[in-house]
Structure 1
């Protein structure tokens, strides 16, 4: 009898243990963070073919519509989590930035230079970022206004020979000149030309297939990168001999010392110079190309900008006096056009990060090693934050956007440190272009091409011509005749 009772007790005990274990397992499964919704596509290639078989913006927008503001995919050989809400972007880029490291393909790191600041985080990144930001301080930019103005005026003069130009290509040449100025100050003409020639080869091969077979764009870019290092070494040696406390980027890097008195190596200086030059060129050139496109397509906006800039031109005796720093800070209509152009075009459509550990966000798990991509363009084109987002409307910036909904230069510790220089270049360009020139886009084809940044199709082919003195006099009511 006792044995039977013991057996019943044992069965009950085992049943209770099993029941409790089942409840705990189910509770843990329920509480455990799961991966976001979405599809990883085919093995290895994932959804890369779908991404590149259509407009990338359409790909991401359709995913967001189907899965919501956080979803998973597998592109470019990497499992990835896409984030399309301001809160998520802030989480990754600002509040929990230490959990996500910047990540780039190794081939691209090597072409720019593995010691460039935007490949790093922590103390090294903080030190280099302060130096770059210091060289692009408002006081330093103030001194660049006359030189940038001269570059812009010279570039515009070359565009009016009657030929159709590739606007983006010409803007890239201008941005390169401005970048050289901000980095080196005034540079020997032969050194500048060598830098230009080798940088063009590097730029052309940057997005090519990474193979070092002789004759391939990547191999040519690799060799050009070695030559750039040699040229920069020569310039660095010359500047060290002069021992002048220059305010440009090279001067800031050369004169920098850490808490122990340590200086930056030549490799560190060279990698960061090439990195800044790379970051400063395509993005700014793309933005200025879009500004011209939007002004061309919206005559009323163009007239408003022209009226604002004409007032400044008249004050400066129709350009006989130099544009001042104060005047560049007082172009509210033009500035709103720039902001709206940056929102519409979203030059930086997204950014790459990599989770350094397993991270939980809003009940979802972001596994260690997965790529994390805040989708700036999706946020910029969300009707919840910007009404009629596909409509070009600079007046929307009469009211400041909601926090973390407008990030044209990124956000957090890895936001673009040279954004003030980029804005200054755009303002000076518009100031000299709009009142003095007219341009007509050639061809009726519209669309976007990526290389990797978005630009109007074919680089916006256009024909430029100078407005006549009579036309300018008519526009200002004859005031220029007095």
Structure 2
């Protein structure tokens, strides 16, 4: 009986094993057939080369980024091989560059939906987790809407008097009596003192100098290798971030005490620090100190380096094109003469004056086209995307970049030529992106325009200049914005406004 029972159990076990094997075989066959048809119907990924595992084109891309011409030529080389849509590998990530205006449109119109903002971990660490730069989705919309109130046209109209006063003081203190200057050093000092005054009510002096030095060290870490060891730029940048935050903490403590005692100076009542300490967000919550620090840093960076570098390069291109200087001077003299004829202070500045500087703005626009302070940024796909017959898998990065569209002869005739007159007509959409685009475009572009035009107005009304190295035409260093090696060294002559 026992033998019969064991035999039956063995037979049942063999039967169950056979059923299991058959079932697994059927499932495998179904999966294989399904995979075959999925693979057969699957779109190809964009053309290009991933290069070495993990490293990919990281090293050559970083080296190209060290010069303005280098990154432009690197992009053009890839486009010549693969077209404006190509893949490469950067810092371990598969990345697709959508180089033309159609690619820019695709990214910006899908931004915040199937595409989200992305920054390499090194940059995210330098900016901090609470920075608006790193936010996406509803959180980004909420914060951007809140912050935009500080940079809309009404706010810029309030700031113009302070910017104008600071600009006049800058030329009086740092240009008068000088025969030779490094223009970039001057625009750095002017731009940083202006933004520190408006954001922190921090005036020129040892504390501002310390903060400027720390911020410039921080900036050198942006395009450095992420090596957190002594002697490397990234290590120094992280240390400088801590020094900058010490300054913020000191100013926050001082301001909180002034608020508690109801003795905040009138000039400080409208600065960004006071606003962040006293105005809750749209959900009624007060900002935490860690949030305030990260976004004060973002404000200083965004308003400082991009504006300063653009002004320095504007001084460079004006010096290279004397007829441009003459046209700017005539436009600015007309504005001053109209003030004098109506009995107004010719040194004052209004938004109407800014609107009248049409040719001067065309000059700056052309500088921004040739030497954009930011050449592009990254996004990350939240789902598989189809674009122009290619599959861009979920989790891949997208890179929009100005180095194709800004130099595309189909959009800009003779693209390497400095020609402000091209701005008599508007360029095609999504071809000109010095301030980015979509929901992550720069919210402070109106402020930047106002402050740059105010600076150029007082510069040409009081000084003429020439390049010490008049024959220099490039290449331009990018660290992270474009500049010649001598920081735009100029010979200066003060003139009498007439």
Normalised by the length of structure 1, the TM-score is 0.85
Tell me which residue corresponds to 1:124.
139
2:97 counterpart SS class: strand
Quote how far apart the aligned CAs of 1:64 are.
1.4
Q: Which runs of 5+ in 2 are unaligned?
A: 1-30, 65-69
2:446 counterpart of 1:423:
no
1:267-416 alignment to 2 at 5 Å?
A: 267-317=290-340, 320-416=346-442
Which of 10, 34, 38 matches 2:44? 34
How far apart, CA to CA, are the structure 2 residues paired with 1:341 and 1:229? Answer: 33
8 Å CA contact 1:152–1:432 kept in 2: the answer is yes
Quote how far apart the aligned CAs of 1:45 are.
2.6
How far apart, CA to CA, are the structure 2 residues paired with 1:317 and 1:259? Answer: 45
State the Cα deviation string for residues 301-325 of structure 1 (Å, max 9, x = none): 2211111011112234497541222
1:66-465 alignment to 2 at 5 Å?
A: 66-157=81-172, 158-162=174-178, 164-185=180-201, 191-214=207-230, 216-243=232-259, 246-258=269-281, 260-317=283-340, 320-443=346-469, 444-447=471-474, 448-465=476-493
Quote how far apart the aligned CAs of 1:66 are.
2.6
Quote how far apart the aligned CAs of 1:126 are.
1.8
2:348 counterpart SS class: coil
2:245 counterpart SS class: helix
State the Cα deviation string for residues 390-421 of structure 1 (Å, max 9, x = none): 22222222222222222110001111111111
How far apart, CA to CA, are the structure 2 residues paired with 1:149 and 1:178? Answer: 9
How far apart, CA to CA, are the structure 1 residues paired with 2:204 and 2:411? Answer: 48
Normalised by the length of structure 2, the TM-score is 0.83
8 Å CA contact 1:100–1:354 kept in 2: the answer is yes
Quote how far apart the aligned CAs of 1:180 are.
1.1
State the Cα deviation string for residues 130-172 of structure 1 (Å, max 9, x = none): 2321111222222222222232233334235445432223212
Inter-CA distance 378–29: structure 2 relative to 1 (3 Å threshold)? same
Inter-CA distance 31–164: structure 2 relative to 1 (3 Å threshold)? farther
Which of 51, 59, 68 matches 2:61? 51
How far apart, CA to CA, are the structure 1 residues paired with 2:485 and 2:210? Answer: 30
Inter-CA distance 185–329: structure 2 relative to 1 (3 Å threshold)? farther
8 Å CA contact 2:111–2:438 kept in 1: the answer is no
Q: Which runs of 5+ in 1 are unaligned?
A: 1-20, 473-479
8 Å CA contact 1:445–1:457 kept in 2: the answer is no
8 Å CA contact 1:352–1:373 kept in 2: the answer is yes
State the Cα deviation string for residues 195-251 of structure 1 (Å, max 9, x = none): 334334433444444334345443343233223223322322333344469333223
1:59-70 alignment to 2 at 5 Å?
A: 59-70=74-85
How far apart, CA to CA, are the structure 2 residues paired with 1:325 and 1:189? Answer: 29
8 Å CA contact 1:135–1:247 kept in 2: the answer is no
Tell me which residue corresponds to 1:9.
none
Quote how far apart the aligned CAs of 1:451 are.
0.7
8 Å CA contact 1:61–1:378 kept in 2: the answer is yes
How far apart, CA to CA, are the structure 1 residues paired with 2:60 and 2:211? Answer: 38
Quote how far apart the aligned CAs of 1:276 are.
1.3
How far apart, CA to CA, are the structure 1 residues paired with 2:220 and 2:41? Answer: 50
Quote how far apart the aligned CAs of 1:446 are.
2.7
Tell me which residue corresponds to 2:9.
none
CA RMSD of aligned residues (A): 2.8
Inter-CA distance 26–382: structure 2 relative to 1 (3 Å threshold)? farther
**The 10-residue stretch of structure 1 (411-420 or 367-376) with the greater mean CA deviation from structure 2:** 367-376
State the Cα deviation string for residues 79-111 of structure 1 (Å, max 9, x = none): 210111222112212334422222223233222
Runs of 4+ aligned residues of structure 1 deviating over 6 Å after TM superposition are: 21-27
State the Cα deviation string for residues 372-404 of structure 1 (Å, max 9, x = none): 111223112112222222222222222222222
1:457 counterpart SS class: coil
Quote how far apart the aligned CAs of 1:40 are.
1.6
